[in-house]
A = this chain, B = another copy of it.
Amino acid sequence: MFAADIRDFVARQGLAGAVVVNVASTEPAPADGSLPPSSLYAAAALRAGCPYVNFTPSTGLHHPALAALAESSGLPYAGRDGKTGQTLLRSVLGPMFLQRALAVRAWSGTNLLGGGDGAALADPAAAAAKNAGKERVLADTLGAAPEGEVHIDDVPALGDWKTAWDHIAFDGFLGSRMILQTIWQGCDSALAAPLVLDLARLAVRAREKGLSGPLGELGFYFKDPVGDGPSSLAEQYTELKRFADRLRDDAETHEAHR
């Protein structure tokens, strides 16, 4: 039914095609095997012949019941969970500590945000889904998860503005204790919008080039990327540029063939 809605939309608007991007509020991790709403929409996207991008930590295609469909659809997909603020920072700071052999002992964080996102994440189950992605970035870039918690507070007075404080305790030579703190004051929707535009274009282009399955080359955009690419932002950027070149080269090849 969702799939029919998408096909109707494409037909009514006279479009060549569509790409489905999930930017809805984070949903709680689903109980046992049931399919959450984000998965129903993801399946509909593929059934309607659309590439799919999951910009949230919600389940989407990340569910065993959808593995066969994802495989047989012949469509490209990407996700999960856009890396816009605190986690973006973590994905460059984590590698810095590792490369300098500075042992991170504790990494703690608090996020304050209002707007719909704050209210959605005031639900502990939704926050748990969100935090899993944040922690994965640390564990992946540092080799192991350090001590420390992440809080997400709904503070309606802040509206769409988010403040993220991070406190990192690390040890230098001979165990000397040092501290780095970061304070990020950003607007998530303004940070997400250009990434969503990029992703929509890249997904469409990937489909045009006949690519299918998980687009692991897009890890630059995500907290918990599909595939098994690198976790440091710098390496993800190198991979993204290589991928973009490939999509472009293909294009030139293609045009030469006409």
A residues contacting B by CB (< 8 A) are 88-89, 92-93, 95-96, 99-101, 105-106, 108, 110, 112, 146-149, 151, 153, 155-158, 163, 165, 167, 169, 172-174, 176, 178-187, 190-191, 193-194, 220, 232-235, 237
A155 and B151 contact, CB distance less than 8 A: no
- A140 CB, nearest partner CB in chain B, Å: 15
| CB-defined contacts of A167 to chain B, threshold 8 Å | 112, 163, 165
The CB with the most chain B CB atoms within 10 A, among A92, A106, A112, A163, is that of A92
Expressed in whole angstroms, the Cα–Cα distance for A39 and B148 within the complex equals 33
A176 and B165 contact, CB distance less than 8 A: no
| Closest Cβ neighbor of A110 among chain B residues | B110
Q: Which residue of B100, B105, B110, B237 contacts A99 across the interface (Cβ within 8 Å)?
A: B237
The 7 closest A-B pairs by CB, nearest first: A234-B234, A105-B157, A176-B190, A172-B190, A173-B190, A106-B157, A178-B186
Secondary structure class of chain A's binding surface, majority of residues:
mixed
B173 and A178 contact, CB distance less than 8 A: no
Expressed in whole angstroms, the Cα–Cα distance for A167 and B151 within the complex equals 14
- A230 CB, nearest partner CB in chain B, Å: 10
B108 and A108 contact, CB distance less than 8 A: no
| CB-defined contacts of A232 to chain B, threshold 8 Å | 234
| CB-defined contacts of A146 to chain B, threshold 8 Å | 157
Q: Which residue of B153, B176, B182, B194 contacts A187 across the interface (Cβ within 8 Å)?
A: B176
- A167 CB, nearest partner CB in chain B, Å: 6
- Knowing that A147-B155, A172-B194, A179-B186 touch, tell me 10 more A-B residue pairs with CB under 8 angstroms: A89-B96, A92-B96, A92-B234, A112-B148, A165-B181, A172-B186, A172-B191, A181-B183, A233-B234, A234-B235
Expressed in whole angstroms, the Cα–Cα distance for A100 and B149 within the complex equals 27
